[in-house]
């Protein structure tokens, strides 16, 4: 075999963030940049040698080039077999499903998730382990350390693999199988959900609008919703994946999934609206004229899980990231199961699932998932809702209102200040950290602060500690304000402020969220002097 050893020098910025390494496309296009990171993965995960690796991405610009590079390097690094999605496609949840089903030693997923694509847009790469989940922090640290020491990488010369044609190919001693990216995932969904009941609901006239945002979920949603479940043709809009997502921002929130959201608030709104992101792991769910917050969605799924065949035996436990609202905690309490609070990042749920401590988990950032795989899963969440709706026969709005009447409502919002100066952002966070002790027992605008801290997490399974995971102001009445800096952006810094207040009184559960939280929003801005540090009077995105 003609392995080439290529000399290189380290880059100093290959530290993975919340979810892998995300940079602008031109950064990845620098000579050796992608190769260095890929070699750092191979150097840090020796068990890949002689084993199976899964490779795929969300189809964004540079996906194909990156896959060909990874295949050559995989062959040179002694990987025995690579499973790669046809056209280079694999949604993040499908990649997790394929890793698990085929007993692969890991997978490389190419995506910058909900970030925009195209030649000047974002690109990303992350490694998922044999359990199908994102590499845990100790591994991402090891990859970063390896990247700082790198002196050479390994590759071979060969023709490009025809990714458009399913089939089996060879690069030197390594076998490359170009597989249907949807098949394994669709089969898994059919095992979990009552497809007959959902089919019956569509047959009876139920209308769904699913916005695939010109991203990876299009082929999955068309096959499962339209072809297998009989939803009307055209149910899935923006279904063709495009390298630049049609110029859009593939982030399923009220601001970016505008077309579908407008329809859901129109006179002729369908029964349900949904959207997924660039790589298919996020979801947003709406009823007619009604938005379901991701935190509420998790709580409703947990409360109704036993209606769904795959979860009929009940839940072992649930988890949410710390800034996610406490709505699911109320459900866990009533079910008598554990509820874990983890730092932001799906990687923190993996250990809990592997140890069967939790079945369902979710995050405020439009992520919901279960132990069926080790990633959050956009289409899965939509199918979960469809299954509940098919059994209950109520509207989404009625289901959520009933939920609040039983468990109380956790009013919740997130205010993002994007693209602010990185130094100003970290000064703001240090200032907040330093004034924390003075906040305890303080009364601000009539609300008493019970505790103020920097969130730190000790993984109950492996004992690893993750410190500095966000600053919390906890009020005596259960309200919370959380501050943290995003770990997924590629430009400047993004300050996220998460605000929550609990309302048990049914007569006060139908207020506008921003109004219900107005006092806390004001407190959040003042305590952190947001305008002073960021120069911004208003957030750029409110979800």
Note the residue count of the chain. 543
Whether the Cβ atoms of residue 299 and residue 330 lie closer than 8 Å to each other: yes
Q: Counting beta carbons within 10 angstroms of the beta carbon of residue 215, is it exposed (0 to 12), middle (13 to 18) or buried (19 or more)? A: buried
Closest approach of ligand G16 to the CB of residue 532, in Å: 23
Closest approach of ligand G16 to the CB of residue 100, in Å: 18
Output 19 or 40, the one with its CB closest to ligand G16: 19
Question: What is d(CA 157, CA 152) in angstroms, rounded to the nearest whole number?
Answer: 16
Output 85 or 93, the one with its CB closest to ligand G16: 93
Q: At what angle do helices 92-101 and 378-392 cross, to 10 degrees?
A: 90
Output 304 or 325, the one with its CB closest to ligand G16: 325
Where are the extended beta strands (E) located within 290-446?
290-292, 317-321, 338-342, 360-363, 367-370, 409-420, 443-444
Output 27 or 541, the one with its CB closest to ligand G16: 541
Output 13 or 191, the one with its CB closest to ligand G16: 13
Question: What is d(CA 228, CA 235) in angstroms, rounded to the nearest whole number?
Answer: 13
Q: Please state, as a whole number, how many other Cβ atoms lie within 10 Å of the Cβ of residue 422.
A: 14
Written in H, E and C, the secondary structure of 510-542 is CCCHHHHCHHHHHHHHHHCCHHHHHCCCCCCEE
Question: What is d(CA 77, CA 391) in angstroms, rounded to the nearest whole number?
Answer: 51
Closest approach of ligand G16 to the CB of residue 349, in Å: 9
Output 184 or 363, the one with its CB closest to ligand G16: 363
Q: Please state, as a whole number, how many other Cβ atoms lie within 10 Å of the Cβ of residue 331.
A: 24
Output 113 or 534, the one with its CB closest to ligand G16: 113
By the criterion CB under 6 A, which residues form the site for ligand G16?
18-19, 113-114, 281-282, 344-346, 363, 365, 367, 486-488, 496
Closest approach of ligand G16 to the CB of residue 212, in Å: 15
**Contacting residues for 230 by C-beta, under 8 A, at least 6 apart:** 199, 202, 203
Closest approach of ligand G16 to the CB of residue 128, in Å: 11
Closest approach of ligand G16 to the CB of residue 75, in Å: 28
Closest approach of ligand G16 to the CB of residue 300, in Å: 19
91 is catalytic: no
Reading the block at residue 454, the tokens are: 């920097």
The upper half-sphere exposure of residue 159, i.e. CA atoms within 13 Å in the direction of its Cβ, equals: 5
Catalytic residue of the set 40, 44, 111, 113:
113
Where are the extended beta strands (E) located within 25-116?
52-57, 81-89, 106-110
**Contacting residues for 177 by C-beta, under 8 A, at least 6 apart:** 81, 82, 83, 84, 167, 168, 169
Residues serving a catalytic function are 113
């Amino acid at each position: 075999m003609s392995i080439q050893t290529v000399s290189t020098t380290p880059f100093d910025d290959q530290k993975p963030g919340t979810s892998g390494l995300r940079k602008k496309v031109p950064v990845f296009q620098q000579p050796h940049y992608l190769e260095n990171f890929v070699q750092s993965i191979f150097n840090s995960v020796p068990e890949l040698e002689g084993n199976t690796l899964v490779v795929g991405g969300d189809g964004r610009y540079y996906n194909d080039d990156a896959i060909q590079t990874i295949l050559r390097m995989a062959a040179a690094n002694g990987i025995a077999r690579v499973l790669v999605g046809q056209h280079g496609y694999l949604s993040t949840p499908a990649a997790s499903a394929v890793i698990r089903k085929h007993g692969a030693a890991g997978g490389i997923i190419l995506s910058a998730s909900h970030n925009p694509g195209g030649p000047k847009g974002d690109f990303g790469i992350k490694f998922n382990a044999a359990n199908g989940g994102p590499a845990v922090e100790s591994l991402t640290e090891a990859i970063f350390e390896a990247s700082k020491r790198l002196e050479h990488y390994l590759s071979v010369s060969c023709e490009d693999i025809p990714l458009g044609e399913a089939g089996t190919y060879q690069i030197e001693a390594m076998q490359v199988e170009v597989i249907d990216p949807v098949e394994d995932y669709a089969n898994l969904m059919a095992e979990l959900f009552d497809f007959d009941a959902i089919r019956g609901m569509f047959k009876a006239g139920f209308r769904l609008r699913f916005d695939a945002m010109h991203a990876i979920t299009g082929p999955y949603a068309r096959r499962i919703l339209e072809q297998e479940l009989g939803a009307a043709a055209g149910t899935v809009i923006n279904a063709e994946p495009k390298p630049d997502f049609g110029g859009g921002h593939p982030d399923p929130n009220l601001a970016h999934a505008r077309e579908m959201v407008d329809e859901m608030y129109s006179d002729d709104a369908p029964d349900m609206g949904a959207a997924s992101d660039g790589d298919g792991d996020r979801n947003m769910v709406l009823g007619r004229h009604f938005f379901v917050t991701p935190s509420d969605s998790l709580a409703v799924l947990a409360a109704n899980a036993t209606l769904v065949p795959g979860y009929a035996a009940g839940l072992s436990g649930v988890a949410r990231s710390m800034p996610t609202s406490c709505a699911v905690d109320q459900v866990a309490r009533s079910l008598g199961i554990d509820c874990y609070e983890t730092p932001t990042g799906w990687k923190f749920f993996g250990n809990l699932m592997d140890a069967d401590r939790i079945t369902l988990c979710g995050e405020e950032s439009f992520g919901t998932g279960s132990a069926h795989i080790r990633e959050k899963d956009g289409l899965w969440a939509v199918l979960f809702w469809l299954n509940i709706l098919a059994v209950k026969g109520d509207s989404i709005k009625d289901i959520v209102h009933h939920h609040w009447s039983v468990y109380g409502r956790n009013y919740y919002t997130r205010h993002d200040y994007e693209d602010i100066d990185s130094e100003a952002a970290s000064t703001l966070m240090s200032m907040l950290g330093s004034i924390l002790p003075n906040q305890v027992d303080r009364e601000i605008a009539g609300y008493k602060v019970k505790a103020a801290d920097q969130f730190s997490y000790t993984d109950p399974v492996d004992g690893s500690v993750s410190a500095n995971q966000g600053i919390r102001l906890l009020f005596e009445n259960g309200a919370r304000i959380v501050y943290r800096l995003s770990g997924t952006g590629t430009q400047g810094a993004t300050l996220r402020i998460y605000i929550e207040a609990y309302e048990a009184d049914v007569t006060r559960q139908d207020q506008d969220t921003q109004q219900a939280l107005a006092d806390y929003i004001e407190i959040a801005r003042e305590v952190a002097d947001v305008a002073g540090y960021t120069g911004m009077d208003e957030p750029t995105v409110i979800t």
